[in-house]
Amino acid sequence: MKYQTLRVQWNDKRCFIQIYRPDAKNTINTLMVEELYEVLTQCEDRVNIIVLEGLPQVFCLGADFAEISSEGEDSTGRNNSEKLYEVWVKLATGPYITIAHVKGKVNAGGIGFVAASDIVLADATAEFSLSELLFGLFPACVLPFLIRRIGFQKAHYLTIMTQPVSVSKAFEWGLVDAYEEKSDSILRRHLLRLERLPKSGIAEYKRYMNQLYNKLSADKTSAIEANRKMFLEPQNLEWIYQFATRGKFPWEN
């Protein structure tokens, strides 16, 4: 199957998924969410390991403001938060090992893919940020996954500061599990080790871990409702439109 926002490669018991929207800085649109959900569903029976990658300079920059701004009264794109949350739940709890292989910038919703993955590998160019509060928003759907990975205070700090942190700081905080100057070799080493694990063992282990930490499902309703309210606020939408069309932040009126 051909995808418009992804490049997907099936390799025995591995699936390599590249987020591929180079003209939109790898931002998340409605179609990407649908395609990711479809691929991850296929992976449940087919593979043991999923590797999620972006572009060399940008992994994922979060929501596609251009799509949101162009919708007018049609709120389809801005209300895809439930499906996106389900994509992250699949990464976090599905019967496979998920690896986020990060190069370049990760921002906003892009952090959701990273925080939901079982393993995060990165190179020296990786940097991580949550910019939502600059536009009157906050990462409601990202935070349940991010808090699970790095704890409440570090997730809180990353949210309110809105500025990027380096790969070394992300490693110190536990957002990144391992990094090197060039990360392709570290990815190969991880794959060589992980390919020894049987599918049955992976599935049972992930099921057990989800029972130990089952807050992701419990937090879903409040996260999606908070996200919905933010994207119905006219002032927030005006700031998004201003940035999408003129590249200006709210304080640059």
Residue 194 lies in a domain: no
Residue 73 lies in a domain: yes
pLDDT of residue 92: 98
Domain containing 161 — which CATH number?
A: 3.90.226.10
Q: Beginning with the edge strand found earlier in the chain, give each strand of the sheet holding 6-11 in spatial order.
A: 6-11, 14-19, 49-53, 97-102, 119-123, 178-180
Q: Beginning with the edge strand found earlier in the chain, give each strand of the sheet holding 127-129 in spatial order.
A: 58-60, 105-107, 127-129, 165-166
Residue 113 lies in a domain: yes
pLDDT in tens, 49-83: 999 999 999 999 999 999 998 865 455 445 689 99
pTM over 0.85: yes
Contact 45, 55 (CB under 8 A): no
3-class SS of residue 179: strand
Residue 211 lies in a domain: no
pLDDT of residue 253: 73
Domain with 114 in it:
6-182
User: What is the Cα Rg of the chain in Å?
Assistant: 17
pLDDT of residue 73: 47
Residue 223 lies in a domain: no
Residue 89 lies in a domain: yes
pLDDT in tens, 2-11: 899 999 999 9
- Output DSSP code: residue 249: -
* Number of domains the chain is built from: 1
Residues annotated as catalytic are 64, 132
- Please state, in angstroms and rounded to a whole number, the distance separating the CA atoms of residues 114 and 116: 6
Residue 201 lies in a domain: no
Residue 58 lies in a domain: yes
Segments of the chain with pLDDT less than 50: 73, 76-77
